[in-house]
Every structure is written in C-alpha cells, then in structure tokens.
Amino acid sequence: MSMFTRSRKTLLAAIVGGCMGLSVLPVQAMEHLHILIPGGAGGGWDSTARGVGEALQSSGLVTTVSYENQSGGGGGKAIAQMIESADQKAADTLMINSTPIVIRTLAGIYPQGFRDLTPIAATLGDFAAIVVRKDSPYKTFSEMAAAYNKDPRSIKVSGGSARGSMDHLVAAMMFKAAGGDAKQLRYVAYDAGGEAMAGLLSGETHALSTGFSEALTMAAAGEVRILVMSGDDRNPAAPDVPTMKDLGYDMSFVNWRGFFASPGISQEQKDEYINTLKSMYGTDAWKTVRDRNGWLELFRSDADFTRFLEAQEKELSGVMKELGFLL
C-alpha cells in the first residue's frame, strides 16, 4: 500500500515508463467495469477509455468492460451523472477525465469539480510542447523567449482550443517562467489541433502550443521542430528536445488522464479499482495498447492523486487569475 500513498517531494515529478518498478499484486479479477466517457466517439477521452478497457479485459483483470459516451456541457453532464448515481448500489462505474476538469471547474463551466467525486488514479500523462516551423528563425526556446521579453507582440502562438483552455494557459506559463509578461501573450485560437498546425505551416503564427506526444508525430512528419517540452526529464523518444528546466526555467507541467468514481464509495471498492488499474501496467496487453497509441505512463492514485490535483489547481488558478480568466 505504501507504494501509492507515499508522497513525493516534487509534485510534478512525471513518471514516464517508471511504473515498471511497481510490484504487481495478485488481484482478483473484477467482474464488470463500466466506463463513462464525457465526450463523443473518436475523441481523446474516448480513445483512452477504450484503450484502457481493452487492456483490462484482454489481460483478464476485468471480465467485461462496457462504455458509455455522455457528452454535453463540455463534459459537465457526465460529472453530474456520476454524482447523481452515487447512491445506487450497483455503481461499478468509473469516469475518465483529464486536466480540463481542473480548468473547467475553475472557470465555472462545471458546477462540480474533482472534490465532488472520488479520485481513483491518473493513468497517463502527456507534457506540453512548443513547436515551430522547420525554417523558423528561432533555434531555441531561449531565443524565442528573449524576443518575447523584448516585444511580446512579436510572437504569435497558435493552439487547437479556445482562449483560456489548456494550450493557452500552458504557453502563458512557459513564457512567464522565461521572464515574460503572461498577459501580453498573443494566443490565436483554432477549432482543432489539425487546423492550428495548418495555421503554423501557413506562416500566420510563429509557434504552436500542443501536447508533447502530438508534437512528436508532427516533428516526425518533417515540417516542424520541437523547441521545448514541459517534462521534468528529457524523453527517450526525443532526447534532443530540452525541458524547460534544462533551459534554466523553473516550470514543469503534465496533462494527466485518469479515472474517477462516484462520491462516497467504500474503501474496499476504492482499493479494488486502484489495484486493478495498477496491475494493468505490467501486462502485455497494456504494453501493446500503450505503444500503439504512443502513450506516456503516469500512475498516481488515491491520496497522492488528490494532492497532485490540488497542486495543479493552485498552479492553474494562478495563471488564470493573471490572464484575467478568474477574478
């Protein structure tokens, strides 16, 4: 048990592929697991839920896994459903969510937040990255930050989500860590990641704020370079890409994806969920799914996960206040 209740000094210490060391406890197979997905088919939440479900089922940890897409309210409808169904005894339901639950709760889009649910565990983590065209004059993030500090209007950053969402906040955090004024950031919002990438390639913006794993795919296509990423350590998939800390800026950020249960579930039930998810990491079925999707592992469970969420909330609310999204 000490494995996942142990607190860590650096709250954002991302465990990338570091879960191999976790001992695999012999777990009795769960009979049934129902995963609630707060968005439609084909999105990031959907693919994660179905990937994790597939690994759990084909490794025999769970006998049957069922899924339910419940979109609406930008994901808020699913949270409300988890809370409403709390008193039902047959609650074998977990909901998938990610960093936006913290942001959208702060922004008041969701009336409820992670405190109204039972955080079970984070299972995946992705870092943020800043990407430029291959012919960009900026060779390093430090050069770009220097230009930004001199004239913040000279750098335009595109992102595939609305103003005030994760891509915007994280880019602001990065420029702030490099000594700039976060409020001055010119963030150009696109409807989707693909369009933001097209915007960068067409030359209308100078940089793109996106997830590290997505940036890796884009860089592999050969049209863009990754300037910097927000992990604590360099990633073996791209050892040339420096972290913010490598460049001397005190900033790190991880976008987690994880699972929540209804409020007020019993300790035994909670432990069963946690042990099942934890046992998944050692299985071959999981490795297949993980490698197929290019996922980076991040396991934080129970109280550790809650503390991690609280720290992230504090950090994000700071930058949201600074940018004027919160009073």
Partner 1 sequence: MLDGIMIGLNTAIMPFNLMMVFAGCFVGTFIGMLPGLGPVSAVALMIPITYGLDPSSGIILMAGVYYGAIFGGSTSSILINAPGCSSTVVTAFDGYPLACQGQAGKALALAAWCSFTGGTVGAIILLFAAPALATVSMSFQSSDYFALMVLGLTAVAAFAGKGQVLKSLIMAVLGLMLATVGTDVTSGTTRFTFGSSDLIDGVSFLLLAMATFALTEVIMTVLRGEHVKPQAEIDMSKLGSMRLSREEVKEVAPTVARSSVFGFLIGVLPGAGATIASFMAYGMERNLASVKEKLKFGKGSLRGLAAPETANNAASTGSFVPLLTLGIPGSGTTAIMLGALIAYGIQPGPRLFIDNPDVFWSVIISMYFGNLVLLVLNLPLIPYISRLLVIPNPILIPLILFFSVTGVYLVSFNTFDIHMMVVVTVISIVLKLLAFPMAPMLLGYILGELLENNLSRALMISDGSLSFLWERPLSAGIMVVAILALLSPLVTTLRNRRAAKEPQVAGAEESAA
157, β-bridge pairs? 187, 207
Q: With beta carbons less than 8 A apart as the criterion, state whether 25 and 85 touch.
A: no
Q: Which stretch binds partner 1 (CB under 8 A): 87-95, 137-145, 191-199, 228-236?
A: 191-199
| Residues between 108 and 127 that touch partner 1 (CB under 8 A) | 109-111
Q: Which stretch binds partner 1 (CB under 8 A): 8-16, 37-45, 275-283, 303-311?
A: 37-45
Task: Give the dihedral sign, CA 159/163/164/165.
Answer: negative
Residue 53 in the binding site for partner 1 (CB under 8 A): no
Q: Measure the CA–CA gap between 95 and 113, rounded to whole angstroms.
A: 13
**Shortest Å distance, C-beta 32 to partner 1:** 19
Residue 212 in the binding site for partner 1 (CB under 8 A): no
Among 40, 137, 179, 248, binds partner 1 (CB under 8 A): 40
Residue 74 in the binding site for partner 1 (CB under 8 A): yes
Among 292, 303, 311, 321, binds partner 1 (CB under 8 A): 292
- Burial class of residue 241 in the structure, from the number of CB atoms within 10 Å of its CB (0-12 exposed, 13-18 middle, 19+ buried): buried
SS3 label, residue 317: helix
Residue 42 in the binding site for partner 1 (CB under 8 A): yes
Among 202, 237, 303, 311, binds partner 1 (CB under 8 A): 202
- In this structure, how many other beta carbons lie within 10 angstroms of the beta carbon of residue 88? 10
Tokens at 244, concatenated: 């913010």
DSSP category for residue 28 = P
Among 190, 259, 273, 305, binds partner 1 (CB under 8 A): 190
Residue 198 in the binding site for partner 1 (CB under 8 A): yes
Q: Which is nearer to partner 1, 110 or 175 (CB)?
A: 110
Cα 166 to chain centroid, rounded: 9
DSSP category for residue 242 = P
Among 17, 137, 203, 248, binds partner 1 (CB under 8 A): 203
Residue 41 in the binding site for partner 1 (CB under 8 A): yes
- Burial class of residue 322 in the structure, from the number of CB atoms within 10 Å of its CB (0-12 exposed, 13-18 middle, 19+ buried): middle
Q: Which is nearer to partner 1, 129 or 244 (CB)?
A: 129
Residue 72 in the binding site for partner 1 (CB under 8 A): yes
Among 52, 131, 218, 296, binds partner 1 (CB under 8 A): 218
Q: Which is nearer to partner 1, 15 or 218 (CB)?
A: 218
Among 20, 140, 217, 321, binds partner 1 (CB under 8 A): 217
Q: Which helix (H) or strand (E) holds 118?
A: strand 118-133
Residue 204 in the binding site for partner 1 (CB under 8 A): yes
Q: With beta carbons less than 8 A apart as the criterion, state whether 131 and 210 touch.
A: yes
Q: Which stretch binds partner 1 (CB under 8 A): 25-33, 221-229, 251-259, 272-280?
A: 221-229
Return phi, psi of residue 283, to 5°: -80, 150
Q: With beta carbons less than 8 A apart as the criterion, state whether 258 and 274 touch.
A: no
Among 16, 55, 62, 70, binds partner 1 (CB under 8 A): 70
**Shortest Å distance, C-beta 76 to partner 1:** 5
β-strand pairing of 297-301 with 118-133: antiparallel
Q: With beta carbons less than 8 A apart as the criterion, state whether 213 and 294 touch.
A: yes
- Cβ neighbours of residue 169 under 8 Å, at least 6 residues apart? 103, 316, 319, 320, 323
| Residues between 231 and 290 that touch partner 1 (CB under 8 A) | none
Tokens at 15, concatenated: 């465990």
Residues of this chain that interact with partner 1 (CB under 8 A) are: 40-42, 47, 54, 68-74, 76-77, 109-111, 153, 156, 161-165, 168, 186, 188-192, 194-195, 197-199, 201-205, 217-218, 220-223, 292-294, 325
